[in-house]
Amino acid sequence: KRPVGVPDKSLARKVTKVGIVGAGLMASQLALLFARRLQVPVVMTDLDQTRVDKGVGYVLGQIEKTVAKGRMDEGTAAKLRGLVSGSVDKSVIADADFVIEAVFENLDLKKQIWAELEKIVSPEAILATNTSSLSVTEMAADLEHPSRVVGFHFFNPVAVLPLLEIIKGERTDDATLATAFAVGRELKKSSVLVKDAPAFVVNRVLTRFTSEVFQAVDAGTPLDVVDSAFDPLGLPMRPIALLQLVGPAVAYHVGETLHRAFPSRFADSPTLKKIVDAGLPLMVDDEINPEVAKLAVGGSA
């Protein structure tokens, strides 16, 4: 049964090549997923060659691991390796009909990237953003063809977690939305249509949770005590390990977006800010980083 608000799949456009903008960890996970499930060429692009090489290297490394586990034969692996490539030259995505952006969580940067890309790709190419919290409508506002912009939000680790939030901007058209759902099906994800509201659904709820964790720390309870207090709830991960997986800077930026939108519901945490500014990993050898624990001491909220 077609969910409410999802256009008929007959409107979906065919996807024959995928462009990925960004070559960080999220972008690299997406490159692997798209190549594996869609079986079409996937090109990654980023500002410097080192990042591009690292991104493509991640994909190749994951293919090796899958072969080593006996879950992929060498023929399939060879085909998959041949589908994924990367370049600093953005023109490699000129003939992509589905482009997904997974760069740093900054609205101006994302708008600038889309403005540049719109000059390169065809007017029909779908422009999808993996933003964690920013407005899809605003991102598309200055484009010549805003109707082909859609939010396509994955969860980490992308290969494992089945959820995909598809976000309809104010001007997203039916063909774009139908294509997004068709691609979601091919990726074997459980797609849900969500409102273009700050941090959408999952990150808004999750941030409320992690924000309260840091409120408790800011109020003076040690970080490791707050973290382990959730064990009886049977969550797949403790909160600090989860924040490490998401990336403390990403989590902080999602928190900032929500704080701006709903100041009384999402407090800024001085502790999380200190941790992000220090650039420290939250976890070391599966334990809370002692340096981080020290930064978290002394709250007085």
CB of residue 11 to ligand 3HC, shortest distance in Å? 28
Check if 153 is active-site. yes
**Smallest distance from the beta carbon of 127 to ligand 3HC, in angstroms?**
18
Query: Residues 175-214: x/- map of binding to ligand 3HC (CB under 6 A)?
Result: ----------------------------x--x--------
Cα distance between residue 53 and residue 66, in whole Å: 20
> Which stretch, 141-149, 245-253, 261-269, 283-291, contacts ligand 3HC (CB under 6 A)?
245-253
Taking CB under 6 A as the rule, does residue 160 contact ligand 3HC? Answer: yes
Among 42, 250, 295, 296, contact with ligand 3HC (rule: CB under 6 A):
250
Structural contact between residues 296 and 271, judged by C-beta atoms closer than 8 angstroms:
yes
Quote the least distance from Cβ 205 to ligand 3HC, whole Å. Answer: 10
Query: For ligand 3HC, which is the closer residue by CB, 134 or 217?
Result: 134
Within 10 A of 278 (CB to CB), how many other CB atoms are there? 12
Binder among 75, 123, 236, 279 for ligand 3HC (CB under 6 A): 236
For position 66 contacting ligand 3HC by CB under 6 A, the verdict is no
Q: How far is the CB of 115 from ligand 3HC (least distance, A)?
A: 23
Helix and strand element counts for the chain (H, E): 12, 10
CA 242, CA 81: separation in Å to the nearest integer? 30
Strand 163-168 vs strand 149-154: parallel, antiparallel, or unpaired? antiparallel
Instruction: Kindly name the residue from 145, 153, 253, 259 that is annotated as catalytic.
Output: 153
In terms of CB distance, is 203 or 257 closer to ligand 3HC? 203
Nearer to ligand 3HC by Cβ, of 45 and 130: the residue is 130
Q: Which is nearer to ligand 3HC, 19 or 239 (CB)?
A: 239
* Cross-strand pairs, 190: 163
Least Å from the CB of residue 252 to ligand 3HC? 11
Q: Could you tell me which of 106, 9, 72, 84 has the C-alpha nearest to residue 39?
A: 84
HSE value, Cβ hemisphere, 13 Å, CA-based, for 96? 28
Q: Name which of 93 and 167 has its Cβ closer to ligand 3HC.
A: 167
Please, where are the H alpha helices in the chain? 25-38, 49-68, 74-83, 107-118, 136-140, 174-186, 202-218, 223-228, 239-246, 248-261, 270-278, 290-295
Residue among 155 and 266 whose Cβ is closer to ligand 3HC: 155
Q: Measured between alpha carbons, how far is 220 from 208 in angstroms, rounded to an integer?
A: 19
Distances in whole angstroms, Cα of residue 105 to Cα of each of 108, 125, 131, 169, 257:
9, 22, 7, 17, 10
| Angle at CA of residue 213, ends 211 and 217, nearest 5° | 110
Q: Write the binding mask 130 to 159 for ligand 3HC: x where contact by CB under 6 A, - elsewhere.
A: --x----------------------xxx-x
Q: Are 196 and 165 in contact (CB under 8 A)?
A: no
CB of 66 to ligand 3HC, least distance (A): 9
Residues designated catalytic: 153
Q: What residues line the site for ligand 3HC (CB under 6 A)?
A: 132, 155-157, 159-161, 203, 206, 236-237, 242, 245-246, 250
